């Protein structure tokens, strides 16, 4: 009777933790480790050590064999997730590029469309306003006496900023302009994602404002008859760069939507659950911005042909669309 009472108390004191561990393991076995929340991942090692300790005590005092058998199975299952085989850094990177990143982007289609509407909607608005009245350009950009890409510039001055040969005087101007565009767009992408938690409102504003700056600049070249040439110069790296901004904004909207519409969860829990997908998208945007920087340097220094520029831009766009949205089967790993 004493042994039975001892066994009962032993289970009563510890069984709730065993059940928590069992529940976490069952969820991981059925849906994969990614289905576990941050709390589950933090609790798993602690609950595993408690289960091992319970098993050791149960064996030492010869408790009910059923309890020992249950704990042995529980500890064996938990061991796999706590101390199981780890993937190498190369494997994790390959997994990220092969499946995690495109899956996260495909899962945020509506947010991506919304981000694109704000960015290109702002660009279209500024473009048409400036074409009707170039005073809008000065309202948007203000007076900058060192800037030559303004409505007051001549056609030849504007052309010199998009066509230069190594050693030309305009090369330094073009380098400065391209560097400004890249740095500005990289900052916009970063903040568009980071400020998404405020219901997505700052993200929407940043996207629209960046589009307004781009559209007003585009109107200057268009009004001088250089729209085709400027588009080719911009899109050779702009396809990747602007796509990265749109995706970063989409990541911000994913978090903002989770905060604004948490459903039955708390706002914090909803934001946390959406944060992994949004962070995956944002990490991929860093890769895209690096690629855009390479394309920008390559296109600026080596390619002055409009046909070549448009060919590269079109190929790049098709690549990203296929990479993100072409359905693929997940590997068996």
Mean pLDDT over each residue of the chain, to the nearest integer: 82
Amino acid 87: pLDDT: 59
Nearest alpha carbon to residue 271 among 257, 258, 254: 258
Q: Quickly state the pLDDT bin for 322 (edges 50, 70, 90).
A: very high
Amino acid 292: pLDDT: 86
Q: Residue 224 pLDDT more than 60?
A: yes
Q: Quickly state the pLDDT bin for 1 (edges 50, 70, 90).
A: very low
Q: Quickly state the pLDDT bin for 186 (edges 50, 70, 90).
A: confident
Amino acid 167: pLDDT: 47
Contacts of residue 150, Cβ cutoff 8 Å, sequence gap at least 6: 137, 141, 144, 220
Amino acid 332: pLDDT: 42
Give the pLDDT confidence of 159-182 residue by residue, as tens digits.
Answer: 888 876 544 544 555 555 556 666
pTM of the complete model = 0.69
Amino acid 39: pLDDT: 83
Amino acid 165: pLDDT: 54
Q: Residue 258 pLDDT more than 90?
A: no
Q: Quickly state the pLDDT bin for 77 (edges 50, 70, 90).
A: confident
Domain ranges (residues) in the chain: 1-83, 89-325
Contacts of residue 101, Cβ cutoff 8 Å, sequence gap at least 6: 280, 281, 283, 284
Amino acid 175: pLDDT: 57
Q: Residue 108 pLDDT more than 60?
A: yes
* 218 phi-psi bin (left φ>0, alpha ψ -120 to 50, beta other): alpha
Q: Give me the percent of the chain exceeding a pLDDT of 70.
A: 85
What's the whole-number mean pLDDT along residues 54-82?
Answer: 80
CA distance 235 to 243: 11
CA distance 271 to 198: 11
Amino acid 268: pLDDT: 76
Which tokens in the block code for residue 263?
């459903």
Q: Quickly state the pLDDT bin for 325 (edges 50, 70, 90).
A: very high
**In terms of pLDDT, which residue wins out, 25 or 65?**
25
Q: Quickly state the pLDDT bin for 120 (edges 50, 70, 90).
A: very high
Amino acid 145: pLDDT: 58
């Amino acid at each position: 009777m004493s042994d039975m009472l001892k066994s009962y108390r032993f289970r009563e004191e510890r069984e709730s933790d065993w059940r928590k561990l069992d529940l976490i393991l069952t969820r991981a076995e059925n849906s994969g480790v990614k289905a576990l929340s941050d709390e589950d991942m933090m609790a798993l090692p602690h609950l595993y050590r408690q289960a091992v300790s319970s098993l050791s005590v149960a064996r030492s005092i010869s408790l009910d064999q059923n309890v020992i058998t249950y704990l042995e199975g529980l500890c064996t299952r938990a061991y796999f997730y706590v101390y199981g085989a780890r993937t190498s850094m190369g494997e994790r990177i390959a997994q990220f590029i092969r499946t995690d990143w495109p899956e996260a982007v495909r899962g945020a289609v509506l947010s991506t469309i919304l981000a694109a509407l704000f960015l290109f909607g702002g660009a279209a608005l500024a473009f048409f306003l400036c074409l009707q009245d170039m005073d809008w350009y000065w309202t948007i950009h203000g007076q900058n006496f060192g800037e030559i890409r303004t409505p007051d510039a001549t056609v030849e001055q504007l052309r010199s900023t998009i066509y230069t040969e190594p050693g030309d005087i305009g090369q330094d101007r073009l380098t400065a302009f391209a560097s400004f565009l890249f740095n500005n767009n990289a900052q916009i992408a970063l903040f568009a994602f980071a400020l998404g938690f405020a219901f997505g409102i700052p993200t929407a504003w940043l996207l629209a404002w960046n589009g307004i700056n781009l559209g007003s600049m585009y109107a200057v070249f268009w009004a001088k008859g250089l729209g085709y040439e400027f588009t080719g110069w911009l899109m050779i790296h702009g396809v990747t760069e602007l796509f990265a901004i749109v995706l970063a904004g989409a990541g911000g909207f994913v978090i903002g939507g989770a905060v604004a519409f948490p459903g039955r969860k708390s706002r914090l829990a909803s934001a946390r659950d959406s944060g992994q997908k949004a962070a995956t998208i944002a990490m991929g945007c860093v890769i895209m911005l690096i690629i855009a920087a390479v394309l920008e340097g390559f296109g600026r220094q080596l390619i002055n042909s409009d046909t070549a520029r448009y060919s590269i831009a079109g190929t790049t766009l098709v690549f990203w669309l296929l990479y993100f949205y072409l359905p693929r089967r997940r590997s068996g790993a």
